[in-house]
Structure 1
């Protein structure tokens, strides 16, 4: 059963619901449930968790990533013996999904004409139990998801949903036949989106992905037609524009939020990209969104 794969149609996309950090002391047991309507992603940080699903026992250790199915019976088959800690993430799927010994293509519930839309696969494949590909990056991303979901505003909601999809991409079973350059570029693009507010260079990306900085730039150019720096600038400015219209944060705070420590440089780059200063952009488009009075 540990070699089972969960194949999920990504149209519609899976949706992040909620998450948290669980701690069990010696002698305690995971709750007994059979009516939870969500998938549960579990990322073990410390200790050993003894959990069962539909009569199958699993022993989860630090660095394990495990998935519980919705509307299936899961429970502890043994109390924890030492302090045990893990992240849990609930997500919902309204499309089709199956659990099988091998990944399978799952068709969309929505009829999409290939004349207007085509992608090689709309199926996300996740392994039932696997080692976390990169614990440090994964745990940092999970904490970002939790932080954004706790903001309770539109920006935080959409940011959390986007980062959740990135989390699924980290743990998904990789598609065979995809070029190494394309895989690297997709990983870089995802990393840039999730860390856009940090200082990032080709050298730091090279260390992160264990490749030469030249390979970083080449893979992005081949796959996305732009350098990492160009992609990062574009993404930061789009985030800034969104926050200008969806929040009341000051321009200086937004500049910091999207990775610019110098507000004057931020304003210069923003004006070059959008043709208006951040203040003028906010005033122009916020006025357009106000309905005329009777």
Structure 2
């Protein structure tokens, strides 16, 4: 496929708006839109989508990602000829972006001073039309994003935005200068953040990323200076703090929500890291609006 790239300035960061799942029957067409204000990411599960952006026609098949630009003319240049299913994500960009045949570094719309010796690159590169090697995993992440966005609380909102940024990282076009070890470590770190509420071992991570469990640990230590288990523990406890301070959920519920099936073990891990029990932490730092727990 002839491809183009979307280069997006990430200051300010792209923002998740909404997502969903759709199934079209033969004869159906994609909505005809002239001035839709958001990017549309499409992750194809089955069938074929005959989509046009302005005068350029595309055919998007199973296992492929396709991105429509905001404020362009989107329409079906041909009706569906088979049952067609995909997940979609709408997101907003307030910074600079462009579509071109090659990725291009963009400046931030926010002035950023150089810090010390290095200012990180702040441009996200996305292939407009590409094959996704782990489409089931991507679709599972999109469903998790939707579930979090449907939660009527502050934790759900922030977790949704974090998961969306992880999605962008997973589908971005990687920097050519990044080593395979760093790429693996970054993928492992994202997986731990996205699945922190599940039971995770080095063996499980090895199966997910098709490497030996020892490679899981060595790549994380070499890249980030921390083992997967220690990273997971720290992340779970940070998520627990968010819930302690922004909700009135019971300690046992919070423990389960962040991946601890044993509330006693959770309390011990929390006290080792923060010096006090979860309940004492809440009583000391929580906003007065959060009720106490019996």
The TM-score, its normalising length taken from structure 2, stands at: 0.96
Tell me the equivalent position of 2:41.
41
SS in 2 for 1:167: helix
**Equivalent residue, structure 2, for 1:179:** 179
CA contact (8 A) 1:2 1:128 kept: no
Kindly state the Cα deviation for residue 118 of structure 1 after the two structures are TM-superposed: 3.9
Q: Given the superposition, is the C-alpha separation of residues 287 and 173 from structure 1 closer, same or farther in structure 2, using an over 3 Å criterion?
A: closer
Paired residue secondary structure (1:32): coil
Aligned counterparts of 1:287 and 1:107: Cα–Cα separation in 2: 39
Q: Return the alpha-carbon distance in structure 2 between the equivalents of residues 116 and 108 of structure 1.
A: 18
1:105 counterpart residue number: 105
SS in 2 for 1:42: strand
CA shift in 2, pair 1:180/1:248, >3 Å = same
1:210 correspondence with 2:210: yes
Q: How does 1:203-242 map to 2 (within 5 A)?
A: 203-242=203-242
Q: Conserved in 2, the CA contact under 8 Å of 1:20 and 1:87?
A: yes
Find the counterpart in structure 2 of residue 5 from structure 1.
Answer: 5
Question: What CA RMSD, in Å, does the superposition of the two structures yield over aligned residues?
Answer: 1.5
8 Å Cα contact 1:14-1:94 kept in structure 2 = yes
**What TM-score, normalized by structure 1, do the two folds share?**
0.96
1:60-209 correspondence runs (5 A): 60-115=60-115, 118-209=118-209
2:181–2:219 CA contact under 8 A, matched in 1: yes
Cα distance in 2 for partners of 1:48, 1:241 equals 45
Paired residue for 1:26?
A: 26
2:66, 2:130 within 8 Å by CA — same for their partners in 1?
yes
Cα distance in 2 between the residues matched to 1:135 and 1:46:
11
CA distance in structure 2 between the partners assigned to 1:238 and 1:69 by the alignment? 36
Contact 2:246–2:286 (8 Å) recurs in 1: no
Aligned length: 290
Cα deviations across residues 34-56 of structure 1 (Å, max 9, x unaligned)?
A: 11010000001121111111111
The secondary structure found in structure 2 opposite 1:65 is: strand
SS at match of 2:276: coil
Distance in 2 of aligned mates of 1:91 and 1:104: 20
Return 5+ residue gaps in structure 1 as ranges: none
Question: Alpha-carbon deviation of 1:120?
Answer: 3.6
Runs of 4+ in 1 over 2 A off after TM superposition: 115-120, 287-290
Cα distance in structure 1, aligned partners of 2:59 and 2:103:
23
The runs of 5 or more residues in structure 2 that have no matched partner are none
Contact 2:193–2:235 (Cα < 8 Å) also in 1: yes
